């Protein structure tokens, strides 16, 4: 049975996810997206009449799905409750290293670029962060972290993963994510005491 | 006595620091920089023959100095060793809120944009992070954190500050930095035990 080929629309979105994670929104041009997606320029205008911002919005949502899935899989596969947050940092170190530190968070660069410039993209970035905080928070509740602590700890865990990922990528070195894993172990132990 | 006016070069660098912290490198054009700096285009070409990248390099260094000073002042003014890292998160929340969440880290956006695109800017970003990690690590050594723990904990503290700042700015809400402060208290207590 032949695998169904992804549509031009799907290819445009997927290529944009990759470009946003490598270089952010501002450096990513429509021309580059269509080349990477092997899609004609006409299909970009057809599927995204709102232009690059509309395509980026779809890409931020798809990118948010991908990270959410990585978080869920890693959290549910953890060997122990105390290790689950740390495992997310180690999983990120693995994934990032495989792309030679090029493919980072699909939201972070665009988030920082959008704050004073695009309310639409800023809101999509906030939604992505909120979704990941909710996923981590739900997991923390499951493993027995007190209700009043789940949201603050989930927010801190996400912030630490994002910051450590940025420093690791700039240095092309997993160490900051390993340091983050050690600190996440301390924070999980403290919250489970 | 009249205050000496900043030179055109100084104004160009200072305006670029602000623009990099608000919107990153890619969205910042030379035209916008010269307008914000009230500097003629000719002085840009005169002082920065290497173009926008050369100016951004100077701005990343000046921005790194500014953050380093904020960290040093906050760490040395802390009411107790256990509060010093948390105080940095609270100081950032104050500073960011004053600019209505527009003026963020002068390095973060450009760091993420530069990874696959500009080895020069990437290295400058790595230098800035390294400098801040050293400042935090030196402080941790002073307050009695064991040598083998100072660098990992300083890296985690910086990562958490950067990540929490990003989420706080996107949400226009100090809560992620307050959550970070609470976690930094836990990590400092653990390291001082």
Which ipTM value was assigned to this complex? Answer: 0.97
H runs (alpha helix) in B51-174? 52-77, 84-98, 108-114, 119-142, 147-171
User: Using 50, 70 and 90 to split pLDDT, how confident is the model at B1?
Assistant: low
Q: Is residue B133 part of a domain?
A: yes
Instruction: Concatenate the DSSP letters of all residues of A16-77 into one string.
Output: HHHHHHHHTTTT--HHHHHHHTT--HHHHHHH-TT-HHHHHHHHHHHHHHHHHHHHHHHHHT
Q: Is residue B123 over pLDDT 80?
A: yes
User: Using 50, 70 and 90 to split pLDDT, how confident is the model at B5?
Assistant: confident
| Residues from chain B contacting residue A182 (CB–CB below 8 Å) | 152, 156
B88-107 pLDDT tens trace: 999 999 999 999 999 999 99
Is B164–A159 a contact, with Cβ atoms under 8 angstroms apart?
Answer: yes
- Kindly identify which residue of chain A lies nearest to residue B105, measuring between CA atoms: A112
Q: Which residues contact A98 (CB under 8 A, 6 or more apart)?
A: none
DSSP secondary structure letter of residue B173: -
Number of domains in chain A: 1
A110-145 pLDDT tens trace: 999 999 999 999 999 999 999 999 999 999 999 999
User: Using 50, 70 and 90 to split pLDDT, how confident is the model at A5?
Assistant: confident
Q: Is residue B33 part of a domain?
A: no
Element (H, E) at A2: none
Q: How far apart are CA A51 and CA A48, in angstroms?
A: 5
Q: What is the mean pLDDT of chain B?
A: 97
Q: How far apart are CA B105 and CA B91, in angstroms?
A: 13
Q: What is the CA angle A56-B160-A92, rounded to 5?
A: 60
- Kindly identify which residue of chain A lies nearest to residue B182, measuring between CA atoms: A152
User: What is the per-residue pLDDT for B165?
Assistant: 98
Is B176–A155 a contact, with Cβ atoms under 8 angstroms apart?
Answer: yes
A167-186 pLDDT tens trace: 999 999 999 999 999 999 99
Q: Is residue A136 part of a domain?
A: yes
User: What is the per-residue pLDDT for B56?
Assistant: 98
Which three-class secondary structure state does DSSP give residue A87? helix
The pair of structure tokens assigned to B86 is: 């948390």
* Lookup result for tokens 């801190």: A156
| Residues from chain A contacting residue B115 (CB–CB below 8 Å) | 22-23, 101-102, 104, 169-170
Q: What is the mean pLDDT of chain A?
A: 97
Q: Is residue A70 part of a domain?
A: yes
Is A163–B167 a contact, with Cβ atoms under 8 angstroms apart?
Answer: no
- Kindly identify which residue of chain B lies nearest to residue A110, measuring between CA atoms: B109
Q: Is residue B38 part of a domain?
A: no
Q: Are A19 and A33 spatial neighbours (Cβ–Cβ below 8 Å)?
A: yes
Of the residues A25, A96, A116, the best mutation for testing chain B's interface (the one with the most B CB atoms within 10 Å of its CB) is A116
CATH of the domain at B185: 1.10.357.10
Q: Is residue A102 over pLDDT 90?
A: yes
| A23, A158, A166 ranked by CB distance to B116: nearest | A23
Is A159–B156 a contact, with Cβ atoms under 8 angstroms apart?
Answer: no
Which 21-40 residues of chain A touch chain B by CB within 8 A? 22-24, 26-27
Q: Which residues contact A7 (CB under 8 A, 6 or more apart)?
A: none
User: What is the per-residue pLDDT for A1?
Assistant: 58
Among B167, B91, B108, residue whose Cα is nearest residue A155 = B167
Instruction: Work out the average pLDDT over B3-14.
Output: 92
Of the residues A120, A146, A166, A192, the best mutation for testing chain B's interface (the one with the most B CB atoms within 10 Å of its CB) is A166
Which 127-156 residues of chain A touch chain B by CB within 8 A? 129, 151-153, 155-156
Range of the domain at A89: 60-192
User: Using 50, 70 and 90 to split pLDDT, how confident is the model at B2?
Assistant: low
The pair of structure tokens assigned to A106 is: 């699909």
Which 80-109 residues of chain B touch chain A by CB within 8 A? 101-102, 104, 108-109
Is A115–B126 a contact, with Cβ atoms under 8 angstroms apart?
Answer: no
User: What is the per-residue pLDDT for A2?
Assistant: 64
Q: Is residue A3 over pLDDT 90?
A: no
Any A CB within 8 A of B183 CB = yes
The pair of structure tokens assigned to A15 is: 């290529």
Furthest-apart CA atoms within chain A: distance in Å: 58
User: What is the per-residue pLDDT for A4?
Assistant: 78
The pair of structure tokens assigned to A150 is: 């789940």
Q: Which residues contact A94 (CB under 8 A, 6 or more apart)?
A: none
What pTM was estimated for this model as a whole? Answer: 0.97
Q: Secondary structure of A166-192 in the HEC alphabet?
A: HHHHHHCCCHHHHHHHHHHHHHHHHHH
Is B166–A112 a contact, with Cβ atoms under 8 angstroms apart?
Answer: yes
Q: Is residue A69 over pLDDT 90?
A: yes
User: Using 50, 70 and 90 to split pLDDT, how confident is the model at B12?
Assistant: very high
Is A155–B27 a contact, with Cβ atoms under 8 angstroms apart?
Answer: no
CA A151, A68, A108, A61 torsion-angle sign: negative
Q: Is residue B127 part of a domain?
A: yes
Q: Is residue A143 part of a domain?
A: yes
User: What is the per-residue pLDDT for B143?
Assistant: 96
């Amino acid at each position: 049975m032949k695998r169904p080929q992804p549509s031009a629309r799907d290819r445009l979105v997927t290529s944009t996810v990759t470009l946003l994670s490598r270089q952010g929104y501002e450096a990513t041009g429509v021309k580059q997206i269509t080349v990477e997606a092997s899609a004609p320029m006409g299909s970009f205008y057809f599927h995204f009449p709102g232009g690059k911002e509309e395509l980026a919005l779809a890409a931020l949502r798809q990118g948010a799905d991908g990270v959410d899935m990585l978080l869920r899989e890693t959290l549910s596969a953890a060997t122990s409750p105390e290790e689950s947050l740390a495992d997310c940092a180690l999983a990120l170190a693995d994934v990032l290293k495989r792309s030679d530190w090029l493919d980072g968070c699909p939201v972070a660069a665009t988030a920082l670029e959008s704050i004073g410039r695009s309310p639409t993209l800023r809101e999509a970035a906030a939604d992505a962060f909120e979704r990941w905080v909710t996923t981590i928070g739900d997991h923390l509740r499951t493993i027995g972290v007190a209700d009043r602590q789940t949201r603050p700890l989930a927010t801190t865990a996400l912030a630490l993963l994002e910051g450590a990922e940025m420093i690791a990528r700039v240095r092309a070195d997993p160490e900051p994510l390993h340091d983050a894993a050690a600190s996440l172990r301390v924070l999980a132990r403290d919250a489970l005491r």
